[in-house]
Chain A
Amino acid sequence: MKRLLTFVFVVVVAFGAIAWTSPHLLDQTKLGLDLKGGFEILYEAQPLNEGGTVTKESLKETAKSLEKRANKTGVAEPEVTTEGSNRIRVKIAGVSNEQEIRDKMKKPAELEFRSASGCAADAGYCKVELVGSDFVEGAAKVEYNSLNEPLIAIQVKDKAKFAEISTRLVGKNLAIFLDDDMLSDPVVQQPLTDGNATISGQRTIAEAKDLADTINLGALPLSLTEKYTQSVGATLGQKSLEDTALAGIVASIVILLFMLIFYRLPGFIACICLLVFVWVLLAVFWMMNATLTLPGIAAFVLGIGIAVDTNIITAERIKDEIRNGKSIASSLRSGNKNSFRTVIDAHITNIIVGAVLYFIGQGTVRGFAVVHLSSIIINIATNLFLARFLLLLVVKSGRFNKPSYYGVKESEIRAL
């Protein structure tokens, strides 16, 4: 009786926790762009200036700045990761202004400060004096003069070069170009020898801020090209989610019913453990702050399959032992022992596959591996150990001794 009470207690607590936290968990689970709409871009970075190389630091800096820029547009949690030696992957889910963000991402490509010295009269500004990478990263900012008009403070790396340029161009224009579009052409007022300068003449604070941002972005020495793009419209993503959820619910109900009808008492316990399994997996997702995407769902389906298999293996093994004429309690003991080794060997082989894919794979393959690995480990905890524990409690209570509770007909039992 005590054992049965413990069983009921454990089940009630587990389901209480599930019922209590599930709405929150489901709400908090981050959905990938294939289920919610959004876009993913794989950039390849090239050094902007000839002879430059893509270093790990500059790649990381660029990624950081991409993330900042994405955040500035107000999207929720952009994922920006570096990959290999010269790639950056950007994933942004649930956006409506995709084009605007993509434009922003690519914008800083080529920032140049040009002068008209030595140019033909009608050629405009043709001599490039400074390029983006000449500026100190992140140093451009908006300041105010005594009249409270906005100024942009900038800082260059090479003071001597800047001093030479500013001395040569006193009274002349130094025009700021971004991707061949002229943004502004301030006049150089005096020679600047300490590497600092201010640009005035911006009409509004917003305009000044825009220019400061652009110079900061231009100070990033890498130019990015889109190598892979995936973009999913919000309604389409929403529909994918609904369809997948429907498929999941139908499959779950049928699997649970199948286990219940086929394996009776062990099946009932399997159902409890399968539900706990899904719940723990969601909770782990939430803790890892992971995003659920199509690869995740694929691994999830495999996880459910292996979880069901674990339960079937155990239940079948116990059935076998009962059929061989053993008592329920000793069938449980030897059934558990024998199936344990089977399940562990199968799981470890799968962990090897998952680990290899995680370390070798990129993007999709890695996404699959993460969910696959976590589901295998959670499966051992829930469908192996928890299931065992619950079954032991029920059997030891001595109230379920009929073979029919385990899906075995009396006629099938052989004398020992």
Chain B
Amino acid sequence: MRYKFSNLNFVKIARPVFISAIVLVLAGIVSLSIFGLNYGIDFKSGSSVDISVSKNVEKAQVEPFLNSEEFGKYTFTSGESRISIRFEEALTDVQQKKLESDFKEKFDAKASFEVNIVDVDIAKEQEWNALKGILIACIGIVIYVAIRFEWRFAISAVASLIFVAFMVITIFSIFRLEVNLPFILAILTIIGYSINDTVVIFDRIRENLRFAKLKTDSDLTDVVNKSISQTLTRSINTVVTVAFAAVCLFVFGSESIKMFSLAMILGLLIGAASSIFIASPLWHLLRRKAKPHQKAKPQSAS
């Protein structure tokens, strides 16, 4: 099988794509500044208690039980064979022990617990630590790509990957999905994948550039379009395979990595699209500006 999109003009649709990307980023900034992220306890401090039960436990029974334990404010969701409680306070180990033994005694002796307790300064520090890592990694990428390719590729690649990461964060903000430590992992994975994806397309542009005679703007446009279409089958096949693996994790995987897999799926799809529709046209834009301005031939509409 081979995907034939050789007559698609990726550069020509750059303007509407860029505008929508900017709108999306603005929407993201608005959403993040108004709603923020739905931080799980990894970033907020507090305690999360997930209980997997072997028999059905009624929600109505659990609530008075939790109230009687008096561990402070909490939110509480229950699903089939699983109960999740989020305490705003960090439980002490004595409280944790009491909760576990009381629950087992009252409801289900075979209950299995997953408990996370985080202190507030650790939470902030983890987030900052990951953010710092990502920023420094971006600088590293810029330097390497600038040496191996040129600085315009570097700027475009990093702009694209920051866009991808930011979009995933935005989606999580808008849909109020819970952000925990695995989310950071997903963002790291997405960045790794996105940079891989972009470099492959850029490599093809670099190669085609070597044999191209760039007399007019449309020559440059042709190089970009040709490079994208030549790598398109690879781009699609790769993203389909990897996204499939992420979907498998989402469908079959354990509860604790559901959100991680979801972030991965989103990031992979956005990342693949961004390499094609944002990174490459952005390079084209930067490169075109750099040349001594020539009168562009009126482009045909086809």
**A contacts, CB < 8 Å to B:** 34, 37, 42, 99, 102-103, 106, 226-236, 239-241, 243-244, 246-248, 250-251, 254-255, 258-259, 262, 294-295, 297-299, 301-302, 304-306, 308-309, 312-313, 316, 320, 338, 341-342, 345-350, 352-357, 360-365, 368, 372, 412
Contacts and interface: CB of A to CB of B under 8 A. Distances in A.
Given A243-B252, A353-B140, 14 more contacts: A230-B116, A239-B112, A248-B248, A250-B252, A251-B248, A255-B244, A298-B188, A309-B242, A345-B203, A348-B148, A349-B195, A353-B192, A353-B195, A365-B185
B184 interface: yes
B181 to A, nearest CB: 5
B115 A230 contact: yes
Contacts of B136: 356, 360
B192 A302 contact: yes
Top 4 A-B residue pairs of the complex, sorted by shortest distance between their CB atoms: A233-B112, A305-B242, A240-B254, A235-B112
B191 interface: yes
B174 interface: no
Contacts of A106: 93
Contacts of A306: 192-193, 196
B110 interface: yes
B244 A312 contact: no
Contact of B119 (A228, A297, A347, A356): A228
Contacts of A228: 116-119, 122
Nearest to B237: A312
Interface of B: 1-2, 50, 52, 93, 96-97, 110-119, 121-122, 126, 129-130, 132-133, 136-137, 140-141, 144-145, 148, 181-182, 184-186, 188-189, 191-193, 195-197, 199-200, 203-204, 207, 230-231, 233-234, 237-238, 240-242, 244-246, 248-249, 251-257, 260, 264, 268
Contacts of B148: 345, 348
Contact of A361 (B50, B119, B130, B260): B130
Contact of B144 (A232, A305, A320, A352): A352
Nearest to B82: A236
Contact of A301 (B112, B126, B129, B249): B249
Nearest to A231: B115
B195 A346 contact: yes
Contact of B192 (A230, A341, A350, A364): A350
A234 B112 CA distance: 7
A273 to B, nearest CB: 15
Contact of B238 (A102, A312, A360, A372): A312
A353 B200 CA distance: 16
A215 B193 CA distance: 53
Contacts of B264: 298, 301
Given A250-B248, A305-B241, A352 B200 contact: no
B192 A227 contact: no
B116 A235 contact: no
Contact of A251 (B93, B96, B197, B249): B249
B259 to A, nearest CB: 11
Nearest to B181: A364
A375 to B, nearest CB: 10
B45 to A, nearest CB: 9
Given A298-B182, A301-B189, A305-B245, A233 B114 contact: yes
A210 B260 CA distance: 45
B153 to A, nearest CB: 10
9 contacts: A229-B115, A233-B112, A240-B256, A258-B237, A258-B240, A298-B186, A338-B207, A361-B130, A365-B185
A356 B203 contact: no
Contact of A352 (B2, B141, B182): B141
A135 B101 CA distance: 38
Given A228-B119, A236-B50, A304-B245, A316 B257 contact: no
B115 A247 contact: no
Contacts of A34: 256
B243 to A, nearest CB: 9
A255 B237 CA distance: 10
Contact of A350 (B116, B195, B207, B231): B195
B52 A236 contact: yes
Contacts of B144: 348-349, 352
B241 A365 contact: no
Contacts of B240: 258
A312 B249 contact: no
Contacts of B126: 362-364
Contacts of B141: 349, 352-353
Contacts of A304: 242, 245
Nearest to B119: A227
Contacts of B231: 316
A349 B196 contact: yes
Nearest to A35: B254
B182 A294 contact: yes
Nearest to B123: A228
B144 to A, nearest CB: 6
Given A255-B244, A352-B144, A361 B2 contact: no
Nearest to A343: B200
Contact of A360 (B1, B133, B246): B133
A302 B122 contact: no
Contacts of B244: 251, 254-255, 258
Contacts of A233: 52, 111-114
Contact of B200 (A298, A346, A354): A346
A226 B248 CA distance: 36
Nearest to B186: A298
A367 to B, nearest CB: 9
Contacts of B246: 301
Contacts of B254: 239-241, 243-244
A341 to B, nearest CB: 7
Contacts of A259: 241
Given A233-B114, A243-B252, A254-B244, A361 B257 contact: no
A234 B114 CA distance: 9
A390 B121 CA distance: 53
Contacts of A353: 137, 140-141, 188, 191-192, 195
